[in-house]
Amino acid sequence: MTETFETVRYTADVVCVRATGQGPELLTIRRGWPPHQGRLALPGGHVDPGETARAAAARELFEETGVLVAPARLILVGLFDEPDRDPRGRYISAAYVVVVGADTTTRAGTDAAEVRWVPLDDPGPLAFDHNRIAYLARRDQLFWLRSRPVGGV
């Protein structure tokens, strides 16, 4: 019997939401690099050696958008491991949700060409499977998060 092994990469994504008078908004980045260069996506990236997915999610959120949150504030949405979710190969992502204050400021950083708040209920087409992740966070998590404090770290 011949064994084959698949390289798997571990990533973390963040559904970052703020409440506004027009309804909840989702923080997105415009990807500066392939794949999906130029498309909107959730902030996120690779989990570094020795790092937890939750810590990576908080780090990536800050590096890409300037939004600083404590890793403990991130609530797990789920693990996303469909074999074809990324054109570069097999990527498994731990996705988290966090609610921040309406006055949260942002700035594009690292591989984000732009930072944009979009309506959570209709964010438009997002890269990868990020529409599904945002939908599940909205459906399964946000009712609980409304009772949690909002703001910075």
Tokens of 126: 């997002």
Distance between CA 61 and CA 83 in Å, rounded? 25
In the set 3, 60, 64, 114, the catalytic residue is 114
**Residues in contact with 4: Cβ distance below 8 Å, sequence separation at least 6, in sequence order:** none
Does the annotation count 114 as an active-site position? Answer: yes
Distance between CA 9 and CA 25 in Å, rounded? 29
Whether 33 and 25 have beta carbons less than 8 Å apart is answered as: no
Angle at 59 between CA 99 and CA 37, to 5 degrees: 90
Strands (E), 21-122: 23-31, 40-41, 44-46, 75-80, 90-100, 112-119
3-state SS assignment for residue 89: coil
Active-site amino acid positions: 114
